[in-house]
Structure 1
């Protein structure tokens, strides 16, 4: 079994609740809030734990919101390593309207990190001993867009397989370092190869372009409700998403990454890797709020897939 480490530079304390009817200028009565530890890498570690795997979860933490985040991670039983920051950990807010069945997601930016805090993150990566490093989520305000690229270069020098799930300029930059696996959606893939849009039949060719450029060894393209395509140098696998009753999309992408990295660590075939990823991502949409998936749902969906 191979070892996994996740890195979350910009984690969040996620607060979710229910309300009935959104009316401007009126006080909206909400249900009792639920608190969850959030942020890309943290969610990936939670997903891996749900599947019976183990990962080390490295994340920044600061202020009283950070203390609650730390407490939630401890309750989850995750192996963790903290990077203390002067700035408070950000909070996100998710609200579900029971009248319209609509979900509203409010994400706040992460506060700036000091130069010393940035150096501590890079130093931690420099001393890592792991087979896979999952870099997931957004960057804090003020961080250079090549920060993930710097991390990937350090990790690659130690022969660590780098898995990246981010978007925009940070994703573009990190591909200059060349990583093991990326998970763009079809719109992000189009931007990466410099076209306005891609149709489904064009996805494999576009992904192969990134592989030939040595940007990534494996490209997994998320197609939302249609499923996902995994492309490597020698293989292509399309997995159609099973039909489920969708309640929330929060954490679906992170669940997918967690499922895939867990399968990779278990030496599964690439076909099994994408099947597990789609099963975990689909199962996550069956639950409200930010609680990811139930393992029994994953196992049932895997049989359908």
Structure 2
């Protein structure tokens, strides 16, 4: 398990058992519950620029998605539905806020506060997980923030030549029989190319966070999870999304995207998201894809405003 003390001062590292997974999570602060969900090819360490600030007024839960980082998938299901179910387990486990010391350690959600809602903030694959959670378990989500994504179905439909060059990994990783052995040959080089290939310089990443991403990608189980995630994104996730296109969850929604990336290059992200989440508001951030780490102050300001009472 990684040592997060430098990135998440005052947070505790816990493992929560969910159906089909053992989820490593960093937990700190007290008050209303906020979950911070990371994306590819990272871990929850990406949230270090804002987690401590949020913990001043919230209970902050920062998991690694199943199979990523220090979390383990035990049933080989990497769909967003499975990832959203893991997040639901965490919300039920940590619902009610309060001090971390007041909560029993470990467990699988037996101390659930079933009526509690959480704020869910996701980036990249974590944002897709957050969207799926809103569709599957809307009673658990008070408000949601989606960082630098369009809906999964929209991405596949908009695979122009420019998109294919930027998002080549969507097809490559969806073929695990090809991708897994190729990545395993030089996993750190692949990680670095994945990070800088999405319009964010390598220097933008905190050295300790980058070291955690490098440590994780070296593990074959993580490579398998990444490929399983994208394979699901090209198959079963599309089936789930197509079945739920009629749903229009009515909750406060923040949409942020990097002005130098592809999300807003060919479409208006707000217009698209308002077709799925009618109360979506937001704007571009002066950054590439990894806006939390490249533009932490601007990203934090937008999130802080979104969470402000009234």
User: Where on the TM-score scale, by shorter chain, does this alignment land: which range?
Assistant: under 0.3
Based on CA coordinates, which of the two structures has the bigger radius of gyration?
1
TM-score (norm 2): 0.26
Which has a greater percent of strand? 1
More helix by share: 2
TM score, norm. by length of structure 1: 0.26
